[in-house]
Amino acid sequence: MSRAEVERTFAALPPAHGRGFAGTWWGRAWLKALEDTALDGEQLKRGRKQAREGAVGAVCVRPGRVTGVVRDRDRTPYRSDVLLREFTEAEWDRLLGVVADRSGHIAALLDRDMPPQLAEDAAAVGVELLPGIGDLEPECGCEAWDHCLHTAALCYQLARLLDEDPYLLLLMRGRGERELLDELQVRSAARAAPYLPPTAEDASPAAPEGVPAREAFAAPGRPPLPAPPPAVAAPGRPPALASGTDPAEGLDVAALEFLAADAAVRARRLLAEALSPGHASSPVPAVLTVWQDTVRLAAAGPPAPIAARLAAGCGRDRADLARAVRAWEHGGAAALTVLEEEWTPDAAALARARVQLAAAWEEDERAPGLRAAGNRWTVVGADLQVRYGRDGRWWPYRKEHGRWWPAGPAGHDPAAALAMPGSDG
């Protein structure tokens, strides 16, 4: 949209009985320009009365002009215009430079505020932002040669609109809000560029890639590696965060203390694993999903309010979370996967599972009847089940209140799994 096409239209405002027309300093400056310019003070009084009584219709603001239809005392409508000189390109360049130089000016405009300092800084570079004597030029259908009650009423009504949005003054000077903010963004970015780190395109030629780690460690005379840190006997205790002052809004101090204590426990465990033999060749564990980490936290035994928050925020019902916690207690993420995943073993895995089931009971023992479905074998006539994991281990389950619950850790013997205390019939 070109600058000539930028305009904003406002519906008629309600009557303004018992209130002033301008509360901001720039709104009052607009009215002062009107009152200092008009030669007939009686016309201003009549215009103010017409505006106060709601005689001004919709108002259109565009570069260089504000237009509205104002009804006379006999209800005759007149088109009225008030003209204000647009800034030249040179004036806009100086004004935008002043605004871009002060972050406070930009922040104020974003808040629809116009600090007096902005007008003073603009005047210092020869740009009079606010109108002065003779700057508000009237044109009215009543053919008055000076400000009549119609153009006066229009100016009083515009002061109410300027109170809410100082961008209207800048629009009359020739720049719409979007165009103005876009230009300020470009200027601000240009000013900040020398202080920003270079991008990949701006960087100097890349430095040498260095020496591969294996060569560095194999080189003679390399400094010895530092000794590993000692094991930690117990996790550290985070400081108590509660104080005599109320926490910031939205901050749950008890939850933060719980998370800090949990982090200390995990740090100790990770250190112990790192110091254990063979750790360097062990696979890197998978990153937990949000659901898995929620279950892990719930299994850590948080205070009741935090447990309730975990249950409410995980998108599962309390029974689902309780079953998941029990699975986690028996085998972590692997046990949680067995709880929630139902799969069909391929021919080779199924053959291995059947061999294990056939060998699980001695010849003089009576093997229970088992009904297979996917990776799950349920004891016929009993609320017992074993689930075959993808790693070839068996997980015991017991039915409680109509749902299958984890009953113990995994093992390679399905008979031993069914004999777990938690799955004891």
Whether residue 390 is contained in a domain is answered as yes
Whether residue 388 is contained in a domain is answered as yes
Regarding whether 315 and 177 lie in a shared domain, the answer is no
Regarding whether 330 and 358 lie in a shared domain, the answer is no
> What is the spatial distance between Cα 376 and Cα 405, in angstroms, rounded to a whole number?
13
pLDDT of 214 above 80: no
Regarding whether 413 and 379 lie in a shared domain, the answer is yes
- Half-sphere exposure (CA, 13 Å, Cβ side) for 65? 14
Regarding whether 187 and 92 lie in a shared domain, the answer is yes
> What is the spatial distance between Cα 359 and Cα 312, in angstroms, rounded to a whole number?
45
Whether residue 269 is contained in a domain is answered as no
Whether residue 154 is contained in a domain is answered as yes
Regarding whether 410 and 322 lie in a shared domain, the answer is no
**Domain extent for 148:** 3-192
pLDDT of 270 above 70: yes
> What is the spatial distance between Cα 80 and Cα 211, in angstroms, rounded to a whole number?
79
Return the minimum-mean-pLDDT range out of 93-102, 232-241, 300-309, 414-423.
Answer: 414-423
Regarding whether 126 and 7 lie in a shared domain, the answer is yes
Is residue 129 within 8 A of residue 123, CB to CB? The reply is yes
Regarding whether 68 and 185 lie in a shared domain, the answer is yes
Residue 215 CA: distances (Å) to CA of 32, 210, 227, 228, 385: 81, 10, 21, 22, 55
Q: Which residue has the tokens 């948080």?
A: 302
Whether residue 281 is contained in a domain is answered as no
Mean pLDDT, the chain, as a whole number? 84
Instruction: Take residue 109 and report the two structure tokens written for it.
Output: 């405009």
Query: Mean pLDDT over residues 42-51, rounded?
Result: 89
Q: What is the pLDDT of residues 271-305, one digit of tens each?
A: 888 888 887 777 777 888 889 999 999 998 888 88
Regarding whether 325 and 185 lie in a shared domain, the answer is no
> What is the spatial distance between Cα 137 and Cα 135, in angstroms, rounded to a whole number?
6
Q: DSSP string covering 141-188, please? A: TT--SS--HHHHHHHHHHHHHHHH-THHHHHHTT--HHHHHHHHHHHH
Query: Mean pLDDT over residues 248-254, rounded?
Result: 78
Q: Which residue has the higher pLDDT, 107 or 198?
A: 107
Burial code (b: 16+ CB inside 10 Å, e: under 16) for 274-296 equals eeeeeeeeeeeeeeeeeebebbb
Regarding whether 400 and 298 lie in a shared domain, the answer is no
Q: Exposed, middle or buried by CB within 10 Å (0-12, 13-18, 19+), for 158?
A: buried
Instruction: Take residue 47 and report the two structure tokens written for it.
Output: 């215009």
Q: State the CB neighbour count (10 A cutoff) for residue 385.
A: 23
Q: What is the pLDDT of residues 106-127, one digit of tens each?
A: 778 887 888 888 888 888 889 9
Q: State the CB neighbour count (10 A cutoff) for residue 338.
A: 26
Regarding whether 337 and 352 lie in a shared domain, the answer is no
Query: Mean pLDDT over residues 24-30, rounded?
Result: 89
The last residue of a domain, from among 341, 359, 386: 341
> What is the spatial distance between Cα 61 and Cα 81, in angstroms, rounded to a whole number?
10
Whether residue 237 is contained in a domain is answered as no
The last residue of a domain, from among 341, 361, 382: 341
Q: Which residue has the higher pLDDT, 126 or 241?
A: 126
How many domains, in total, are found in the chain?
A: 3
H/E element, 96:
helix 89-101
Q: DSSP string covering 305-324, please? A: HHHHHHHHHSSS-HHHHHHH
Regarding whether 116 and 69 lie in a shared domain, the answer is yes
Q: State pTM to two decimals.
A: 0.47
Whether residue 282 is contained in a domain is answered as no
Is residue 161 within 8 A of residue 9, CB to CB? The reply is no
> What is the spatial distance between Cα 316 and Cα 270, in angstroms, rounded to a whole number?
29
pLDDT band per the 50, 70, 90 thresholds, residue 424: very low
Query: Mean pLDDT over residues 293-319, rounded?
Result: 86
Is residue 47 within 8 A of residue 61, CB to CB? The reply is no
> What is the spatial distance between Cα 423 and Cα 406, in angstroms, rounded to a whole number?
9
Regarding whether 32 and 143 lie in a shared domain, the answer is yes
Whether residue 35 is contained in a domain is answered as yes
The closest alpha carbon to 413, from 374, 381, 367, belongs to: 367
The last residue of a domain, from among 192, 215, 242: 192
